[in-house]
């Protein structure tokens, strides 16, 4: 089988992800009713939370495979780690950006140094630094070992971000659980809203798995090309 060409299972997963994204657009903009107080901007919430979930999931995967790499020295785990961080950074960026879009009409500002926003930004910076710092090492083995240790330590920022709205006083609403009395923008989900919310979480999870599979394939291809170049120049 040609390693560059996607296999049948990956093609099916890709088509499924595209279909789910289209269905989620229907669920979020047609099926789910318009929220009475916030209006149309509340619909951002379906993608905002889902993007945040995928970011956290991606960084959790990085934690797990980083431990596996240190235990086995199998470079395939490093390919999964860097691929997952890249995807996690993209979705965390979406999460922060969509949060700002929602905050402008609700909080009357694009940004405030709320505990959730601050910790989310720190988490984003930590993983952007992961991608930048691993490029600063020329020795591939040192690069992979450093990235694995960093990926493990960096995960501390993920639960800290999740717990920020539960540990400190905040204006950020809690979607699951009880809200701080000072929270602004909280709302009660109707059954259609809850269905749309859960469908978005599922869709983004499948989308993450699809992107991760594609990215691992390209990372593996780049690794094989690098080995061939090394052998060519050393011969």
Domain ranges of the chain: 8-234
As given in the structure block, the two tokens for residue 31 are 């099926």
pTM: 0.87
What is the pLDDT averaged over residues 214-221?
A: 91
What is the pLDDT averaged over residues 202-231?
A: 88
pLDDT of 126 strictly over 60:
yes
Give the per-residue pLDDT at 175: 63
Give the per-residue pLDDT at 235: 57
What is the pLDDT averaged over residues 62-89?
A: 96
What is the pLDDT averaged over residues 17-42?
A: 90
Q: Which residue has the higher pLDDT, 117 or 132?
A: 132
| Beta-bridge partner residues of 152 | none
pLDDT of 157 strictly over 80:
yes
37, burial (CB in 10 Å: exposed 0-12, middle 13-18, buried 19+): exposed
Q: Find out whether 81 and 215 touch, Cβ atoms under 8 Å.
A: no
Report d(CA 200, CA 137) in Å as an integer. Answer: 38
4, burial (CB in 10 Å: exposed 0-12, middle 13-18, buried 19+): exposed
Give the per-residue pLDDT at 31: 92
Considering just the CA atoms, what is the radius of gyration of the chain in Å?
20
Encode pLDDT of 46-73 as tens digits. Answer: 999 999 999 999 999 999 999 999 999 9
pLDDT of 166 strictly over 90:
no
Secondary structure of residue 35 in the 3-state scheme: strand
Q: Which residue has the higher pLDDT, 170 or 196?
A: 196
What is the pLDDT averaged over residues 199-228?
A: 91
pLDDT band at 169 (very low <50, low <70, confident <90, very high): low
What is the pLDDT averaged over residues 200-222?
A: 94
141-145 long-range contacts (CB < 8 A, ≥24 apart) are 144/69, 144/75, 144/78, 145/70
As given in the structure block, the two tokens for residue 10 are 């990956």
Q: In this prediction, what percent of the chain has a pLDDT beyond 70?
A: 86
Q: Which residue has the higher pLDDT, 40 or 212?
A: 212
pLDDT of 160 strictly over 60:
yes
């Amino acid at each position: 089988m040609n390693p560059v060409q996607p296999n049948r299972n990956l093609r099916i997963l890709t088509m499924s992800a595209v279909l789910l994204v289209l269905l989620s657009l229907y669920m979020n903009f047609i099926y789910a009713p318009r929220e009475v107080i916030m209006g149309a901007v509340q619909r951002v919430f379906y993608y905002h939370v889902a993007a945040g979930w995928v970011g956290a999931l991606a960084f959790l995967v990085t934690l797990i495979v980083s431990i596996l790499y240190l235990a086995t020295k199998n470079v395939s785990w490093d390919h999964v780690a860097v691929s997952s961080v890249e995807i996690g950074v993209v979705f965390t960026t979406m999460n922060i950006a969509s949060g700002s879009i929602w905050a402008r009409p609700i909080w009357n500002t694009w940004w405030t140094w709320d505990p959730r926003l601050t910790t989310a930004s720190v988490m984003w910076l930590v993983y952007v630094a992961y991608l930048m710092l691993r490029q600063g090492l020329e020795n591939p083995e040192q690069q992979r070992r450093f990235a694995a240790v960093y990926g493990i330590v960096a995960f501390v920022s993920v639960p800290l971000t999740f717990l920020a709205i539960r540990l400190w006083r905040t204006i950020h609403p809690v979607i699951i659980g009880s809200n701080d009395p000072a929270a602004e923008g909280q709302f009660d989900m109707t059954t259609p809203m809850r269905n749309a919310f859960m469908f978005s979480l599922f869709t983004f999870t499948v989308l993450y798995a699809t992107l991760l599979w594609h990215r691992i394939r390209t990372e593996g291809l780049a690794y094989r090309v690098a080995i061939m170049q090394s052998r060519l120049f050393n011969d």
